[in-house]
Copies of this chain bind each other. A is one copy, B any other.
Amino acid sequence: MSSIPVGILGATGMVGQQFIALLANHPWFTVEWLGASQRSEGKAFKDAAAWRLPSHLPDAVATKVVETAAPGHAPKLVFSGLDSSVAGEIEGAFAQAGHIIVSNSRNYRMEPDVPLLIPEVNADHLALLEAQGAERGWKGRIVTNPNCATVVIAMALAPLRQFGLQTAMVTTLQAISGAGYPGVPSWDILGNIIPQIGGEEEKVESESNKILGSLSRSKARVELHPVKVSATTTRVPVQNGHTASMSVGLHEKPPAEAVIDAWRSFTGRPQDLGLPSAPPRPIVYLTDVNRPQPLLDANRDGGMVVTIGRLRPCPLFDYKFVALGHNTIRGAAGAAILNAELMHREGLL
């Protein structure tokens, strides 16, 4: 199979860097184009951005010249790690110009005609792309992945829909890498908790309904799932891995074994299709009493797995548990790459 060229919007930011790292040895995609703000334009990537990841910056990317974030030279498939302050306009321009934008930004996530994808959960939502093209007159398309905390929560909830999922109370403990760079000042977080993340709770409380929803008969909209989510989102001094303490209410309370089995047996299109970034099992349930833990579990299966533990009855709802996912991989760049892999195999690129 010959390689598919891809571009990266917002290449110098931390999501952009994570895209570069994850695509370094990708079997299908090759980074051919880098777009960033004017400040970086015309510079070799290694001069435009300080590389802040432990993995090696590939030489081929290091020497590539960064272009301005405008359509023109970019290949058809473009990943976007743009800041939301500019993503709306730029991604729209690229879609109009015929590009397939696989975006990690929040701007288009809740648009009715834009898929908000977790490929294991709602691969069929890609059908919205037809309506998207028809309504907007774009030659290209935009596909999005959820907020980094929402991914963990929605993946943990997806297999519970069969039990009549009604409510989910969530408190997150989110890693500092979720805020990008420079992001959270060490003055604020070293040995400390910040009990609030601006705008995060609203995303967590609304995105899950779309992700878990069903495609309407017309295939032009998503019927929102009725689960009511209440979130408190906090920042903790952890490098990578968002933890969620969750309690769920179900229409009928199954035995605990059935819940665990629902998680462990959960798979989807990525597993069926054997997508390169797909973990063998999207959800891993851990039986040790003190798991999952960010330091030990966030990187499992390349950071693409959601680990869950501590399932036990809740005195108020039905079950309590703790879920964990890698926020910059499954919660950001890895999520978008999996979306693109799915689209490629579904013939949508």
Within 8 A of B (CB), among A289-313: 289-297, 299-300, 309-310
Q: Residues on A close to B: CB < 8 A? A: 14, 52-54, 56, 167, 169, 171, 173, 176-177, 181-196, 198, 205, 228-230, 232, 234, 236-239, 241, 243, 245, 247, 289-297, 299-300, 309-310, 314-317, 320, 322
In the complex, the answer to whether B314 meets A230 with C-beta atoms within 8 Å is yes
Knowing A54-B296, A186-B176, A239-B190, the reply to whether A310 touches B195 (Cβ < 8 A) is yes
**Cβ–Cβ contact A228 & B185, under 8 A:** no
**Chain B: which residue is nearest A52 at the CB level?**
B187
Contacts of A320 in B (CB 8 A): 230, 232
Asked if B191 and A229 make an inter-chain contact with CB atoms under 8 angstroms apart, the answer reads no
Residues of B with C-beta under 8 A to A176: 186-187, 190
Which of B56, B236, B295 has a CB less than 8 Å from the CB of A54? B295
Q: Is the CB of A315 within 8 A of B230?
A: yes
Which chain B residues lie closer than 8 Å to A290 at the CB level? 194-196
Mind listing 16 A-B residue pairs with CB under 8 Å? Answer: A52-B188, A56-B300, A167-B316, A169-B317, A173-B234, A184-B185, A185-B186, A186-B188, A190-B238, A191-B191, A193-B293, A195-B309, A229-B315, A232-B320, A237-B237, A245-B245
Question: Please, how many angstroms separate the alpha-carbon atoms of A238 and B186 in the complex?
Answer: 9
Q: Output the least CB separation between A53 and chain B (Å).
A: 8
